[in-house]
Amino acid sequence: MTAPIALTCGEPAGIGAEIAVAARAALPDLPFFWIGDPRHLPKAAAFAEISSPAQAAAVPPGLLPVLRHDFAGAAIPGQPQPENAQGVIDVIARAVALAQGGAASALCTLPIHKKALKDGAGFGFPGHTEYLAHLAGDVPVVMMLASDLLRVVPVTIHIALAQVADTLTPALLDQVIRLTAAGLQRDFGVAKPRLAIAGLNPHAGEGGAMGMEEITLIAPVLNRLRTEGYDLRGPLSADTMFHARARAGYDAAVCMYHDQALIPIKTLDFDGGVNVTLGLPFIRTSPDHGTGFDIAGKGLARPDSTIAALRMAARMAAARSAAT
C-alpha cells in the first residue's frame, strides 16, 4: 500500500489549519495526515490523533488524521507568536525525515511566514524551498508552478527585475533546464519532455534589436543541450507562448524571471496552481498562496490550491513509484 502524504501545519497564525480540515473533507479517499498541534486546529474540527503515518489509512473519512507535534504557544489568528517559530521549523524537518524514510510518499507544505521564523528562531533560509534543499543535502532545486493547464519554471526568482540580466548565466540556465526535464520524467511520467524556453527581451530580442541575451547567452545553451537530445523550442517571444494552441506544443515553459512565469499560470488557473520543488530526493508540493493573516480564523479561506497540491503530490508519487 502506498504511504500517505505528510501535510505540514505551516504558520499557526495563518489559514493552514483551516484549509487542512477543509481539504480532508474534500478528499476523503486520498491518504494524508497533518503534522501539528491539535490545539491549533479550528474549534469545531473533527480529527483523530495517530501515532504513526501508517495509521492514517484507518482513520474514518470524516476525521483529519493528526500526527501530534506540540508547540510552545497558542495559535492566534493573524498574530504570529515567536515561541511557535521553532515548532514550525521542526515540523518541516520531521516531515522531510518521514518522506526520506519512506513513511510518507510525499510532502505537502502549508504556507510559512519567513519573517516570523527569522525573528522567533533565527531561521537562516530565504524560504521553504531553500530549507528543504538544505535538509536534502544542499541539492540544486528549481521551483515549478503547475496546474492542469500549464507548467512554468522561472530561472531567476525573487530578485529585482534590474538584477535579472546579471543573474542569468549559461550555467544557471543549463541547470534549470536539466532539472526541469528530469523532474518531468521522474515525477510527471513524461518520457520525452518538450520544453519551451522564453527569451529575456521583448520579441525574444528581435534579432538583437531589443537585446542581445537571446543570441549571446540563451541560444548557445539551447543548441548545446539539443546535441545531447533535449527537445527545446526557443528562445521564444514570451507574449506568444501561453495561448491554448502554443501550450499544446510543450510540457513546461522555462521563463527567465519571476513574473514572466507566474503571471500566465495565475491568470489561467489562480486557484488551481501548485508550487512544486524539482530536484529533491522526495516529492514536495505546496499551495500557491501565502499565510492569509488577514482572513485567518474568519472561515473565509479557500482550500482549492491545497486540494490541488495534495492531488498533484499523489499523482507524482504514483509516477515516481512506477518509474522505479
Instruction: Tell me how far apart the alpha carbons of residues 190 and 182 are, in angstroms, rounded to a whole number.
Output: 9
Inside any domain, residue 312: yes
Q: What cell does 185 get?
A: 520524467
Same domain, 258 and 290: no
When divided into structural domains, the chain yields a total of 2
Q: What cell does 6 get?
A: 505528510
Same domain, 296 and 318: yes
Same domain, 99 and 231: no
Per-residue DSSP letter, 79: B
Same domain, 261 and 315: no
150 burial type by CB count under 10 A (0-12 exposed, 13-18 middle, 19+ buried): buried
Same domain, 17 and 107: yes
Task: Say if CB 285 and CB 129 are below 8 A apart.
Answer: no
Q: Where would I find the beta strands (DSSP E) of 164-212?
A: 194-198
* Largest interatomic CA distance in the chain: 63
Inside any domain, residue 38: yes
CA torsion sign, 258 to 264 to 266 to 271?
Answer: negative
Same domain, 124 and 173: no
* pTM attached to this predicted model: 0.90
Domain residue limits at 204: 149-268
Inside any domain, residue 4: yes
Instruction: Tell me how far apart the alpha carbons of residues 266 and 271 are, in angstroms, rounded to a whole number.
Output: 8
Same domain, 93 and 32: yes
Same domain, 122 and 188: no
Inside any domain, residue 304: yes
Instruction: Tell me how far apart the alpha carbons of residues 42 and 45 are, in angstroms, rounded to a whole number.
Output: 5
Same domain, 162 and 119: no
| CATH number of the structural domain spanning residue 183 | 3.40.718.10
Inside any domain, residue 273: no
**Residue pLDDT tens, the chain, 324 long:** 589 999 999 999 999 999 999 999 999 999 999 999 999 999 989 999 999 999 999 999 989 999 999 999 999 999 999 999 999 999 999 999 999 999 999 999 999 999 999 999 999 988 888 999 999 999 999 999 999 999 999 999 888 999 999 999 999 999 999 999 999 999 999 999 999 999 999 998 888 898 899 999 999 999 999 999 999 999 999 999 999 999 999 999 999 999 999 999 999 998 888 999 999 999 999 998 889 999 999 999 999 999 999 999 999 999 988 877
